Structure 1
Amino acid sequence: MNESDDEDHAARATRAARAAEAGAAVAEEAFREGIAVETKGGKTDVVTQADRDAQRAVIEAIREEYPDDPVVGEEEDELKAVPEAGPAWIVDPIDGTNNFVRGIRVFGTAVAAVVDGEPVGAANVFPALGDAYRSGPEGVFRDGDPIAVSDRTDPETCAVAPTLWWALDDRGRYGAACKAIVDRFADLRRFGCAQATLAMVASGALDGTITNLRANPWDSVAGVHMVRAAGGTVTDLEGERWRHDSVGLVASNGAVHEEVLAAAREIEREAGD
């Protein structure tokens, strides 16, 4: 990477942070205000007007500096796949919408800047928790302070989380994921917000997280960038470097990655596939 690229990526990381803050402010204003809830693809796939309003606020903030860049967004008519060439932005206006509508504070706005399909800067803002994460060429930070993955090497001291939720007719894999974790590690957590989970791996609060599913880019790319910037490892189920179209997402502090990967691979076997 040359100096010009580094400056461009730093500028994109800064803009991602500002855009995420704009979306998070909209979400926070609507939190616990009795907002109407709709469903999209299933009974637990919910959306609110706050999701749409927050996404518009994010996109407006991006367009102030990058008016022509494509946007990949969860809501409305934005792109649903990450372009392989050129710059783009990936937006989740409210990650953890089920938490949001239940009045649970673990939700946030995620924005990632990508170039040629690879993230170069990202931000996750969790307004009800009072935490803002940012990653870019200069590193990864929470509320302005640098963070890093944990240094635990003994799986029996580690806490690991299943990242994504399985469909109602596929809950055998959720049970398999939980069993794979509790058989190997000290404890299990689930937060209902993939970006918050990945941010916790980046900060060392969690030691790993797993899913055998293909994660939507808005649920994953920002947090993956943070884990890597914090010194962690993120792969697919084959142990290959994770990218936005990978099957499975396995993130860890790096030191216990093989054990975390083994737990992820166990999901299919335990579910009887």
Structure 2
Amino acid sequence: MTPAADLDLPRLLNVAGGILDGVSDHFIAGLGAPSAVRKGDTDFATQIDLDLERRIGDELSQRTGFGVHGEEFGGPPVGEGVVWVLDPIDGTFNYSAGVPLTGILLALLADGESVLGLTWLPLSGKRFAGHLDSPLLCNGEPVALPRPTTLAQNAIGFGPFNAGHGGRYPGARRADLIRALSTRVARLRMTGSTGVDMAFAASGTFGASIAFGRHPWDNAAGAALVRAAGGVATDLSGRRWTVDSPSLVAGARGIHSEVMAVVEEVIGDDWSVESTGHPPSHPRSDPTGRPSRPEENNR
């Protein structure tokens, strides 16, 4: 097992960035690709997802010696040792529809902690990267972060949802939270991509962002970027984000605290719909019998 302190993070960041640069033209050329693998009503993968994951994963493994866990093909356990975690296209629905809010997410995990993150947004020409003890970088240059401001002066990214769906964070309760935030922030934004949301939170475009999904390939890169920028990354209960976390709230320290204060005031730790009198939802099931909750996927 390689401890995080023994990793050559600048070299690994350079290698990973070069690999993502090498596939960016492929990513751009595939914009608008249709569904190739259906996962749910609005949840799918394109052939570009599959091709990019194979190509990136093979190159990373060969050049760094560490395994890769991808969204489409899986891989080694993400909570043990050192492993890359990859989302070849974050915001697949956007990508297939031709909406440019989509990108490639890659993070390096060491015993469940995200120690390095890259978010490549080829359609907007932005490449965000950072690791432990490094500044946040955009296109290879340190980002000049804005001065601390308040929730009322910032836009906040908010994860997509269906108000009729259940799950750990039911849509009806998310609606309660977005209603409360709407009176206290400058703007609310729903981009449809956790990668975009968290890169914007890291760079100060957004003051903070909230993601309700638990998947490490969606969240790990953003958590690393926000921390590289000096911000905070927790779950919706305020616990430090790790690969086992069920959600991600990340942003500048003061603004993160203000967001969490609204969560505590409106929700606390009780996300049940019964606590506010909303009618219970009945999520559909996929053919395996598992509840289908596409609102927790960044597609």
Q: 1:174 to 1:61 in 2, by over 3 A?
A: same
Aligned to 1:113: 108
Aligned to 1:76: 73
Determine whether 1:153 maps to 2:152: no
Gaps of 5+ in 2: 276-299
Q: 1:269 to 1:65 in 2, by over 3 A?
A: closer
Write the distance in 1 (CA, Å) between the matches of 2:163 and 2:223.
23
Q: 1:118 to 1:19 in 2, by over 3 A?
A: farther
SS at match of 1:169: coil
1:16 is displaced (CA, Å) by 2.3
Contact 2:101/2:192 (<8 A) preserved: yes
Q: 1:162 to 1:149 in 2, by over 3 A?
A: farther
**Equivalent runs, 1:1-273 vs 2, <5 Å:** 5=5, 8-32=8-32, 35-38=33-36, 40-67=38-65, 69-79=66-76, 81-84=77-80, 86-136=81-131, 137-147=133-143, 149-166=145-162, 169-170=165-166, 171-211=171-211, 213-265=212-264, 266=266, 271-273=273-275
Write the distance in 2 (CA, Å) between the matches of 1:157 and 1:271.
31
Instruction: State the Cα deviation string for residues 53-106 of structure 1 (Å, max 9, x = none).
Output: 111121122023124x22111002434x5132x211000000010100000011
Instruction: State the Cα deviation string for residues 156-200 of structure 1 (Å, max 9, x = none).
Output: 112111135458624324422321320321210111110111000
1:180 partner letter: A
Write the distance in 2 (CA, Å) between the matches of 1:162 and 1:17.
27
SS at match of 1:105: coil
Contact 2:163/2:175 (<8 A) preserved: no
Q: 1:258 to 1:7 in 2, by over 3 A?
A: closer
Q: 1:120 to 1:56 in 2, by over 3 A?
A: same
1:24 is displaced (CA, Å) by 3.2
1:110 partner letter: L
Contact 2:61/2:67 (<8 A) preserved: no
Instruction: State the Cα deviation string for residues 140-162 of structure 1 (Å, max 9, x = none).
Output: 11112212554343221121111
- With 214-223 and 136-145 compared, the bigger mean Cα shift is at 136-145
Contact 1:147/1:202 (<8 A) preserved: no
2:138 partner letter: R
Q: 1:246 to 1:6 in 2, by over 3 A?
A: same
- With 7-16 and 124-133 compared, the bigger mean Cα shift is at 7-16
Gaps of 5+ in 1: none
